[in-house]
Amino acid sequence: MSPSPRFRRLLGLATAAVLLAGCASTIGGQAVKVGAAQGTTTAPPTETPGPTGPKAGVAPADVKVVNDGNTQSDTLAKNTIEDLYTYYGQIFEKDFSKAFTPAKQLISYDSKVKNSPKVCNRSLYQEVNASYNPCADTIVWDRGVLLPDLTKEVGILAAPTVLSHEMGHLVQARLGVETNDVLLLEQQADCYAGGYWRWVADGNSKYYDLNKTAGVRQVLSAMMSTGDPVGTTTSTEGAHGSGFDRSYAFTLGFSNGAVRCSKITTAEVQARITETGFTVLPKNFGNIDISDKFLGQIATVANSYFGQTVKGYKPPTLTPFEGTSGPACNGAPTLYPVGYCQATNTITYNLKELQRIGTPTAGFKSINGDFSAVLLLVSRYGLAAQATTGGTPLGTQAGLRGLCYAGSWASWMRKTQGPDKLRLSPNDLNKAVYEVVNSPLPASDAAGSASSAVIDQVQALYVGVVFGATQCFDFYSS
């Protein structure tokens, strides 16, 4: 079970000379409550889907940029940076008791051009990147390759998401903190990006709209696409975190605001980071063909885990079906392609659709794969764990708890070789969060109802992975 994010070009997101130290607050074994706002964020984001993307009819930002190419990517960059200046200008005095000051310089360049500008005496030729450079207090971006490729491969909000991350590094400099812990810096900057996009989602941006469904999915996809390559470990020089880790840090800022980001510490990051390397490089980088036999093995492992973990758990029957509608349960079809029926304690699945979901779409560089399908199946076992122990598999909380339980099972599989000698590969959690970001089904209840907040769904998965099944129950109690 395992490939890597589509591309990982942002090799120097934090130019290692700055930033954070001496902030308080660690996780201390407890999950951070979703939506437990700090600082300037105080209410849940709007429930209405609404528009998402650049606002129509708004004049481009008048921001001075060295070597401005006046391309679409440059316009996105300038609009985003002016927006970020407004955001931090509003919150800095209140949240950090100091005034915010913009970068001294902004530079646009084309990494394909030999005579591109330099920053800190470093040539930007062939540097497919965007970065904050503390040596010159300068933000730079590649308008020739990186930003247009991000726009093409992820969406129009991908380039603004990357730049909101870079502005996070400038914020760290403004707060006057210093550390050589690159992973900590990246987690904080990802978190700061989340805080900005929450401000956008709340309707404050001059240049962008962001809804909580398609919009949040796109910015989270941008975070995931810039995660470390598969096999990177936390001890690898310059490690930034896996797509799974980066997307979670983003949700912390989105749910809790910039103050929470400033309080992320090395101890917290080391306690919850999931990035691991290969012990032995598996065949096909860990992707296993989805078959009835393989799904039966997953069922055996899931039943073993929940039998050990949830008192009174009764293993459901696993049954395949064909067609686009699941078997009837109390007069209504179970979900497609995987469903749970409490009346018969049965989990049903459509093999062909799970094969489609679980087949990598881009080979080794794909961020989906076998575990995308596995997560869907095991989240139904998470519903069974509730239904067979006196609870209900219905309702938003049940859906989130089922996904959280699936995350706790995944964490167990990282550390334990379960029945049939199955164990998670290093990027299976990337595949899991990919499926959560791209489909509401993993967080849905037995009737197909799901929380519409993608942020809540990503955090439910993460709470299970990092904090375990007990926290799933406590976190999502009705």
Centre a 10 Å sphere on the Cβ of residue 349 and count the other Cβ atoms it contains: 26
Distance CA 43, CA 396 (A): 19
At 341, is the secondary structure helix, strand, or coil?
A: strand
CB 15 within 8 A of CB 135: yes
Element (DSSP H or E) covering residue 347: strand 346-349
Q: What is the pLDDT of residue 42?
A: 36
Strand ranges (E), 195-286: 208-209
Q: What is the pLDDT of residue 223?
A: 83
Checking DSSP bridges between strand 138-142 and strand 332-333, what pairing results, if any? unpaired
Centre a 10 Å sphere on the Cβ of residue 377 and count the other Cβ atoms it contains: 22
pTM above 0.85, yes or no: no
User: Smallest Cα–Cα separation from 461: which of 450, 358, 301?
Assistant: 450
Q: What is the pLDDT of residue 36?
A: 39
CB 40 within 8 A of CB 90: yes
Q: What is the pLDDT of residue 433?
A: 83
Residue 71 burial class via C-beta count within 10 angstroms: exposed 0-12, middle 13-18, buried 19 and up: middle
What is the four-CA torsion angle of 257, 181, 105, 75, rounded to 10 degrees?
-60
Centre a 10 Å sphere on the Cβ of residue 43 and count the other Cβ atoms it contains: 8
Q: What is the pLDDT of residue 44?
A: 44
Exposure pattern of 260-289 as b/e (b: 16+ CB <10 Å)? Answer: bbbbbbbebbeebbbbbeeeeeeeebbbbe
Q: What is the pLDDT of residue 197?
A: 97
Contacts of 72 (CB under 8 A, 6+ apart): 148, 151
CA distances in angstroms from 140 to 43, 77, 78, 114, 168, listed in the order given: 34, 10, 11, 16, 14
Contacts of 152 (CB under 8 A, 6+ apart): none
**pLDDT tens-digit profile, the chain (478 residues):** 322 233 333 333 333 222 222 222 222 233 444 433 344 433 444 445 689 999 999 999 999 999 999 999 999 999 999 999 999 999 999 999 999 999 999 999 999 999 989 999 999 999 999 999 999 999 999 999 999 999 998 999 999 999 999 999 999 999 998 888 888 898 999 999 999 999 999 999 999 999 988 899 999 988 877 643 343 333 344 444 567 888 888 999 999 999 999 999 988 888 776 543 333 334 444 578 899 999 999 999 999 999 999 999 999 999 999 999 999 999 999 999 999 999 999 999 999 999 999 988 765 456 778 889 999 999 999 999 999 999 999 999 999 999 999 999 988 887 766 666 677 776 778 788 888 888 899 999 999 988 768 888 988 998 998 888 999 988 777 5
Distance CA 242, CA 252 (A): 16
Q: Which two tokens stand for residue 197?
A: 């996009």
Omega cis (within 30) before 337: yes
Distance CA 155, CA 300 (A): 39
Centre a 10 Å sphere on the Cβ of residue 57 and count the other Cβ atoms it contains: 4
